A = this chain, B = another copy of it.
Amino acid sequence: MRILLVEDEQGVANFIKKGLEEERYTVDLVTDGQAGLEHGLTGQYDLLILDLMLPKKSGFEVAKGLRDTGIQTPILMLTAKISVQDKVKGLDVGADDYLTKPFSFEEFLARVRALLRRKQTEMIKLEVGDLEVNTLSHRVFLDGKELVLRPKEYAILEYLVRAKDCVVSRTQILENVWGYDFDPTTNVVDVHIKSIRKKLEELTPKEYISTVRGVGYMVTTTPK
């Protein structure tokens, strides 16, 4: 289990890092919010532990930055005594739990364990406008009506919806849906996109998949 600890007080940081490592967790430590945000975005962590008062970016800003980009990693915030309003704010920007300094290391570990129990979870319903992609059942609904898609169609749509509002290229789609074993001259993606669009049109006049010429496709609710 990999944990990112963002804490600028060296004594506290070392105490926590050492204690977690004695429990067999792998711990990366950074000392300011900017680095914390960058590591949180790019690293594959199972848990983030953030101090609130940090140089460069506060724990609030780190949490918000992560949640805004769809990062679901659990976040445990460490704070000195602060106002209820600030605690509420922290939970609302995306922290999962709070611990107020000073705290018992036993309780700290128990909270870490509770948060890590939820590591293996993910949003199961992706939504774009009235389109709902259920990533467990691999079924898609539009305004409550099922959009019956073949496996490849589903995989392409899910990929596009996960990258909502971002253009993805055919190559990215091929790599993600087919893996690396594909013919680079193929127009098979275009064929499937056509098929998905046709099925969408049967249920709504609204356009969900846009073409960005020379780049690729994207799912959006705000048409060009």
Contacts and interface: CB of A to CB of B under 8 A. Distances in A.
Interface in A67-95: 84-85, 87-88, 91-92, 95
A221 interface: no
Interface stretch (A15-23, A112-120, A189-197): A112-120
Interface of A: 84-85, 87-88, 91-92, 95-97, 104, 106-107, 109-111, 113-114, 118, 120-125, 135-136, 138, 151
Given A92-B113, A96-B114, A122-B136, 6 more contacts: A84-B107, A91-B114, A96-B118, A118-B121, A121-B122, A122-B124
25 contacts: A84-B107, A85-B106, A87-B107, A87-B110, A88-B109, A91-B107, A91-B110, A91-B111, A91-B113, A92-B114, A95-B114, A96-B114, A96-B118, A97-B97, A118-B118, A120-B123, A120-B124, A121-B121, A121-B122, A121-B123, A121-B124, A124-B136, A135-B136, A136-B136, A138-B138
